[in-house]
Amino acid sequence: MNAFPATLLIFALGAYVAGIAGALLFQRAERLANGIGFGLAAVGGFCGVLACASALATGAVTASQSFELFPSLIPFVRFSIHADALGCFFGMIVSLLGWALSIYSLGYARGYYGRKNVGVFGAGFNLLLLATTLVFLADHALFFLIAWEIMALTAYSLVSFEHEQEETRNAGVLFFVMSHLGTGCLILGFLLLFQASGSYGFDSFHALGNTLPAGRRNVVFLLFLIGFGVKAGMVPLHIWLPAAHPVAPSNVSALMSGVIVKTGIYGLTRVGFDFLGTPPNWWGVTVLTIGTISAVLGVLYALMEHDLKRLLAYHSIENIGIILMGLGAALMFRHSGHPVLASLALIAGLYHTLNHAVFKALLFLGAGAVLHATHTRNMEDMGGLAKRMRWTALFFLVGAVAISALPPLNGFVSEWLTYQSLLQGFGTTTRLIRLMFPLSGAMLALTGALAAACFVKAFGITFLAQPRSNPARHAHEAPFPMLLGQGILTAACVFLGLFPTLFLKLFDPLTQQLTGQQLSQQLTTANGLVLSGGGAQGGTVSTLGITLMLLCLLPVPLGLWLLFARRSRTRIAPTWDCGLRGLTPQMEYTATGFSKPLRMIFKALFRPRREVQREYDFSPYFATTLRFESHVEEVFQTRIYRPLRWLVLRASRRTRALQAGSIQAYLIYIFVTLLALLLFAL
């Protein structure tokens, strides 16, 4: 990589390290620790974005070599980073989010003054950013695993930052256990690769799949799929995500949902495309199926939530599902030998990764601002915040429109690309497997529509109508840094949505490296205004055109307004309440009510359970107190993880008998094993 981006990248990493040191040094002075910690993180993030974006844009990334950060004292480990196209792209995501979230955290951390140690919080945040960036840029398996472990540990410590509540501690432990199960699989996978290639360097792993025997290759793929799948939050392994993200402080959950989850996607892409060469067909089919299931289940469970941050966490699972659909399709195309379609599907998947990182972080920041103001995550106690928190409401609305894949924002663009790749995928093979493409396309449509329903609920119940509790009634707008953080991400959402053709150039080095195709010319027509689905068959869409046309059509209603209704006046009156004594906030629609029809329709999946306790004095018709409780069964928890845990406990209870408590017994065990080994050695 030529001079400018490399030095800037090193400067960014240095800024993070300085941020850690600064935050820890000035722990005592909270305001200073906050300023330095997050300030330096913001500077680091900004430099990171500049470095990676310029490297990708100018194509300098193709000429980059790996270089050692610092000499390694430990044998076998080489702390070397190599900012290739894939690493740079994900580095750009983490830096962009790091920049916006740090600015947001300057305001958010004020909530912790006097309560928690802001210095440690800032240092942890910087360390998390540093570790994640290194994960993306690491060029050596062991260095990758070290960075991965630091990331997991810092994330754990930040997730359980507010460890006073029981719920936080449990979520932290669950996150810890699940992420280390994944890391275990990763280590095995890397060992197998090391065994095949002889060295830990990533460059030696390149296209290793072709040399590996088929059985070994499948095992490696499965190990990496599980390992990275846990971190990405695929459906069977997702249970930690909706537990861990809501309890974390909002800027951390934004970073986790936006970026840490993407390390799983980065891993899968690196292994699937870079390491293991041309994949067999069943890999792509598995990833596509898992993606589809994750998408649909993620959004269905999100709909049932009335905890704002759990809702957003489930949506992370849904969007990861959509990204996996893109990757799965790309893998299938690589198998069937269609590099152009493979690059299109890959671009769709990775573009959605970037988009999801941006709008999910934006939504979490919005949720954080709401939490900051109303001190609750329960949507049933919110309401009417749009009039009290104007800017946060606007930013949350933009995020909601983006995540529901509605034109003209970025969610729509990446889902449109996914549709195009799925549609054109139908023609690639003649075997029955091609039916998967349109069916997963239909499931993607179902997901998109359910996501729209979910975010009408999320935005409507939280921000519109009357406040349903006193904290919501006295809510105040978030401080300026928090708004600035959200503003940056909103601008990113709009910009990514309106000018997709500009960003497709960034993907050229990426697809060149992974699939050997450069698609940005084929995907842009009408001198960069319109995005096309590639080739003659692909349809075209221009979000910029749509927005401009919407503005051009504005005179029609305005003209009608002037023509007919110039003298009409507007009167503010109470909402029509059928002549009763007025609508109280309790009469409004709540999150549970809003999702009731869907809970009834998908009864088989949710198995809803509701209890109504009614206490009354003399006659059952005049209840003194009424308690209503409704639960949606966590199917994965009860059907898979609880029986699994029961088996493990039973097995461990049985082996406890070994612990007889007498020294003789233990000595006998040692002696017997010693003898066995000696005999075996004969």
Partner 1 sequence: MFVHDTLLNRLKRGCETMAYPAGPAPALPDRHGGALRVEAAKCQAGCAACVAVCPTEAITRPPNQAVALDLGRCIFCAECIKACPAGAITQTGDHRLAVRRRDDLVLGEAGREQLRLAVALDAKLRRLFGRSLKLRQVSAGGCNACEADTNVLGTIGWDLGRFGIQFVASPRHADGLLITGPVSKNMELALRKTYAAVPEPRIVIAVGACAIAGGPFVGHPQVNNGAGALVPVDLFIPGCPPHPLTILDGLLRLLGRLEDAPRRS
Partner 2 sequence: MNLPALVLQLLLLLLLAPLVSGVIKNWKAKLQNRRGPRPWQVYFDLAKFLRKDMVISEHASWVFSFAPYVVFLTALLTGLMVPMVHTPAPLSLYGGVLAVVGLLALGRFFLALGGLDPASAFGGMGSSREMTLSAIAEPALMLAIFTVAITAKSTDLSQIALSTQSATGKLLNPAHVLAFAAMFVVLLAETGRIPVDNPATHLELTMIHEAMLLEYSGRHLAFMEWGASIKQLVLMTLFLNVFFPVGLAGPGAGAGALGLSLLAFLAKLLALSAAVVVVETTNAKLRLFRAPDLLSAAFVLATLALLSTFLFH
Partner 3 sequence: MNPSAATEISSQAITLMATLMLLVQLLMTAQRMLLTSIRLFAIQSLLLAGIAALVAYHHNASHVYVVAGLTLIGKVIFLPWLLNRLVHRIQIHQEIEPLLNAPTSMLICGGLTLLGYVLARPFTSMERLGNNTLGIALTLLLTGFFLMINRRKALTQVLALLTVENGVMLAAVALTSYGMPLVVELGIFFDVLVAVMVLGILVYRIRESFASMDTSKLNQLKG
Map the footprint of partner 2 across residues 420-439, applying CB under 8 A.
420, 423, 426-427, 430, 435, 438-439
Report CA-CA distances (Å) from 479 to 106, 146, 336, 370, 484: 9, 37, 53, 12, 9
396 binds, among partner 2, partner 3, partner 1, none (CB under 5 to 8 A by kind): none
- What's the CA gap between 301 and 369, in Å, rounded? 24
3-class SS of residue 627: strand
Secondary structure element (H or E) that encloses residue 286, with its range: helix 281-303
Q: Shortest Cβ distance from residue 589 to partner 1 (Å)?
A: 17
Would you give the distance in Å from CA 623 to the centre of its chain?
46
Judged by CB under 8 A, which stretch of 98-106, 119-127, 609-617, 666-674 contacts partner 3? 666-674
Give Cα 546 distance to the centre of its chain: 28
User: Is residue 576 a contact point for partner 2 (CB under 8 A)?
Assistant: yes
Q: Which stretch binds partner 1 (CB under 8 A): 246-254, 461-469, 570-578, 652-660?
A: 570-578
- Using CB under 8 A, which of the segments 86-94, 243-251, 357-365, 596-604 binds partner 2? 596-604
Reduced to 3 states, what is the DSSP secondary structure of residue 74?
coil
Residue among 32 and 446 whose Cβ is closer to partner 2? 446
Pick one of 28, 571, 650, 656: the residue that binds partner 1 (CB under 8 A). Answer: 571
Q: Which does 581 bind (CB under 5 to 8 A by kind): partner 3, partner 1, partner 2, none?
A: partner 1
Task: Confirm or reject binding of residue 563 to partner 1 (CB under 8 A).
Answer: no
| Residue 580 touches partner 1, criterion: CB under 8 A | yes
What's the rounded Cα separation, in Å, for the pair 180 and 231?
9
What is the three-class DSSP state of 228? helix
Question: Is residue 560 a contact point for partner 2 (CB under 8 A)?
Answer: yes
Q: Which long-range contacts (CB under 8 A, 24 or more apart) does 335-341 make?
A: 335/278, 335/279, 335/280, 335/281, 335/283, 335/284, 336/281, 336/428, 336/429, 338/428, 339/515, 339/516, 339/517, 340/517, 340/519, 340/522, 340/534, 340/535, 341/421, 341/424, 341/425, 341/428, 341/534
Question: Interface residues for partner 3 in 491-530 (CB under 8 A)?
Answer: none
- Torsion of the alpha carbons at 131, 134, 135 and 136, rounded to the nearest 10: 130
Nearest in space to 38 (alpha carbons), one of 107, 102, 116? 102
How many residues of this chain interact with partner 3, rule: CB under 8 A?
15
Interface residue with partner 1 among 68, 164, 577, 633 (CB under 8 A) is 577
Tokens for 470?
A: 């006193």
Q: What is the C-alpha separation between 434 and 426, in angstroms, rounded? A: 5
Neighbours of 672 (CB within 10 A): 10
- Taking CB under 8 A as the criterion, the residue among 253, 257, 292, 404 binding partner 2 is 404
Q: Which of 587, 671, 673, 676 binds partner 3 (CB under 8 A)?
A: 671
Between the alpha carbon of residue 222 and those of residues 228, 241, 248, 324, 649, the distances in Å are 10, 21, 30, 15, 26
Stretch that binds partner 3, among 87-95, 145-153, 447-455, 664-672 (CB under 8 A): 664-672
Applying CB under 8 A, among 466, 512, 518, 630 the residue interacting with partner 2 is 466
Stretch near partner 3 under the rule CB under 8 A, chosen from 342-350, 356-364, 392-400, 670-678: 670-678
Stretch that binds partner 2, among 168-176, 233-241, 309-317, 531-539 (CB under 8 A): 531-539
Which window, 156-164, 170-178, 348-356, 393-401, contacts partner 2 (CB under 8 A)? 393-401
CA angle 452, 456, 459 (to 5 degrees): 130
550 binds, among partner 1, partner 3, partner 2, none (CB under 5 to 8 A by kind): partner 2
* CB nearer partner 2, residue 58 or residue 466: 466
Q: Is 573 in the site for partner 1 (CB under 8 A)?
A: yes
Pairing of strands 609-616, 623-631: antiparallel
Instruction: Please report whether residue 581 would count as binding partner 1 according to CB under 8 A.
Output: yes
Applying CB under 8 A, does 657 fall inside the site for partner 3? no
Contact partner at residue 461 from partner 3, partner 1, partner 2, none, CB < 5 to 8 Å by partner kind = partner 2
Residues 6+ apart with CB under 8 A from 42: 98, 99, 102, 103, 106
> By CB under 8 A, is residue 574 in contact with partner 1?
yes
CB atoms within 10 A of CB 622: 8
CB of 433 to partner 3, least distance (A): 58
The residue type at 470: N
| Cα gap 166→262, rounded to integer Å | 28
Q: Among partner 3, partner 1, partner 2, none, what binds residue 466 when CB lies within 5 to 8 Å by partner kind?
A: partner 2
Residue 522 amino acid letter: Q
Which position among 667, 673, 676, 680 is part of the footprint of partner 3 (CB under 8 A)? 667
Instruction: Give yes or no for residue 613 binding partner 2 (CB under 8 A).
Output: no
Packing angle, helices 339-374 and 480-498, rounded to 10: 160
Contact stretch for partner 2 (CB under 8 A) within 244-252, 350-358, 485-493, 570-578 = 570-578
> Binding to partner 3 by residue 664, rule CB under 8 A?
yes
Determine, following the binding rule CB under 8 A, whether residue 661 of this chain makes contact with partner 3.
Answer: yes
416 part of the interface to partner 2, by CB under 8 A = yes
Fill in the amino acid letter for 248.
Answer: A
| Closest to 168 in 3D by CA, of 253, 108, 236 | 253
Shortest separation between residue 369's beta carbon and partner 3, angstroms:
52
Give the interface segment with partner 2, choosing from 53-61, 108-116, 199-207, 416-424 (CB under 8 A).
416-424
Q: Angle of helix 214-232 relative to helix 261-269, nearest 10 degrees?
A: 160
Residue ranges binding partner 1 (CB under 8 A): 569, 571, 573-574, 576-581
